[in-house]
Amino acid sequence: MTDHSIHKSYSQRQLRVGELVKQNLGELFIRNEAKIPLINSKLITVTEVRMTPDLKTARVYVIPLGGVDIKETVSILTEYSHLVRKALSKRLDIKFLPKLTFVEDNSFDYAEKIERIIKQNKENDKEKKRYN
């Protein structure tokens, strides 16, 4: 569902490590292991994790339940990323623990917008057929 890159290819290693980080972050948030103040981490969905080629930085796409307060959630996660990283270090056994950069995932809004446009076009076609 998510497509945050424009014709950018990722190595199998980047994809594999990204998926590993994504799964562990998801479990970490569900179990509230990071102890992030101000937000309920159980309501955060990690939709995708993109790794840099050197695997030292991870771009984590997140969306809170219902998509409400997404900017606030991302800023809180960014502020307390050290807590998330510390909790993640207990779960992962990899050479370098990636630096986490949290980003809001707007792909659902984009998909909704496309869905609306398609629906509108279908309705317009029906109107045209009715008058022809």
Q: Which domain holds residue 52?
A: 12-106
Count the neighbouring beta carbons within 10 Å of the beta carbon of residue 84. 22
Does residue 56 belong to any structural domain of this protein?
yes
Whether 55 maps to a domain, the answer reads: yes
Query: Is residue 95 domain-resident?
Result: yes
Beta bridge partners of 64: 44
Name which of 125, 71, 75 is nearest 101 in CA terms.
75
| pLDDT per residue as tens, the chain (132 positions) | 455 545 478 899 999 999 999 999 999 999 999 888 888 888 899 999 999 999 999 999 999 987 788 899 999 999 999 999 999 999 988 888 999 999 998 877 777 888 888 888 888 877 777 776
Number of folded domains that form the chain: 1
CATH number of residue 79's parent domain: 3.30.300.20
Tell me if 62 is assigned to some domain: yes
| Residue 113 to residue 118: CA distance in whole angstroms | 9
Distance between CA atoms of residues 66 and 43, nearest Å: 9
